[in-house]
Amino acid sequence: MKVMKFGGTSVGSPERMKGVCQLITKSGKPTFVVLSAMSGTTNSLVEISNYFYKKNPDGAHDIINQLERKYMQHVEELYTDQNIKAEITELLKERFQYLRSFSKDTFTSFEERAVVAQGEILSTNMVTAYLKQQGIKAFLIPALDFMRTDKNQEPDMMHIKLHINDILRREEGYQIYITQGFICRNAYGEIDNLQRGGSDYTASIIGAAIQAEEIQIWTDIDGMHNNDPRVVEKTEPVHQLNFEEAAELAYFGAKILHPTCVQPAKNAGIPVALKNTMDPDAEGTIINNDLQRGKIKAVAAKDNITAIKIKSSRMLLATGFLRKVFDTFEEFNTPIDMVCTSEVGVSMSIDNPKNLDAIVDKLKKYGTVTVDRDMCIICVVGDLDWENLGFETLATEAMKNIPVRMISYGGSNYNISYLIRSADKKQALQNLSNVLF
């Protein structure tokens, strides 16, 4: 069985929904489908929540009414079978009435998560109903029945595997199984979400749990490109990536994929295919355990980076200095992207400046601190093992006219990273494309 995931733009209109239904039924084989909310819906639900937080139910009801009218119009365009049309209309009315009910109670983050979950619930019910209208044996499995996180907010893989396979055994014989991406229950049984990676993460978790033959992530671009097509001209799809290469690219800016979402698939040895809903026949990108030796695959850029440098000739060589520095970032729950050290200093980059002032204030106990804002990490990914002579030189040659604040090489066999000013990003990416590809 394959797992196919479709994002919000792929189910963003009645026509797109019909196109998705054609794709998922094309093979005629049993398929597990993960759907996001229709594009724009989650933003509306977040706005509704904000009104409820501010104790403004009238503002919330205005957005609910707008959203309901939009969905009811979709019903008119999707369904011709009067019985199915009546069923889905009644379900939508119930869901929107459920949203209105939150004006009567205290509104907290628990209620917000329940509100935001409704987008995926709406889209999956609508697609399931349309498939049934087309005579397809389709079964909707609510994600809240099997998808759960543990007390560390990580997927509870044992629980998920046990429950989803039990459901599939009980409900065998269907051609299409559909569930919601993103949403789950937490360790306490409350409605929650997977946070990182959203629906992509759901698809990867399900693929690993049911030992799928392949996990397909369908978006509006034909795979992962060798550079950012929004910035650089004449980029091309990368047809194959190793799991490690894909994770590096995703972490350092390739928006098509979240860095955590391939981990369950990698652990289970299941290939992940990135496909284009707008061009289903395009080859796309396959991510698996294979590694193409001696090849640089792609370049990515991560924006909104801040660099922090601590200079201390007095303390750098003292036992425990680096531990104190890293403990500071852990205390303020701030991950570090890059690290470079010398005899008298250590430089780090972060992408979340929320606690920057507090971090800098504490680091001043250990040395002189300087901060560079508005920076960008450029990441070159491929087979960058240190024994591949000249690969790092080739990448650095492309950067010869770009001021580089930091370089990170050797921490991974798949990545060399450069910290530069955001203003130099476009030129750096274009230079790398010209030299490497």
Helix/strand/coil for 369: strand
Q: Does residue 350 contact residue 305 with C-beta atoms inside 8 Å?
A: yes
Measured CA to CA, the distance from residue 293 to residue 274 in angstroms comes to 22
* 152 CB-contact burial (10 Å; exposed 0-12 / middle 13-18 / buried 19+): exposed
Measured CA to CA, the distance from residue 287 to residue 269 in angstroms comes to 10
Give, for 219, the enclosing helix (H) or strand (E). Answer: strand 214-219
Beta carbons within 10 angstroms of residue 353's beta carbon: 15
Radius of gyration of the chain (CA): 24
Length of the chain: 437
pTM assigned to the model: 0.86
Task: Write out the two tokens for 289.
Answer: 């355990």
Beta carbons within 10 angstroms of residue 90's beta carbon: 10
Q: Which amino acid is at 346?
A: V
Q: Which candidate, 91, 12, 79, places its Cα nearest to that of 44?
A: 12
pLDDT at 295 (0 to 100): 86
pLDDT at 415 (0 to 100): 87
DSSP symbol at 148? B
The long-range contacts involving 421-426, CB below 8 angstroms and separated by at least 24 positions, are: 421/374, 421/375, 421/376, 422/303, 422/304, 422/305, 422/374, 422/375, 422/376, 423/374, 424/376, 425/231, 425/301, 425/303, 425/376, 425/378, 426/231, 426/232
Q: Does residue 424 contact residue 392 with C-beta atoms inside 8 Å?
A: no
DSSP symbol at 282? S
In the predicted model, residues of the chain with pLDDT beneath 70 are 196-197, 253-255, 313-319, 389-390
pLDDT at 315 (0 to 100): 60
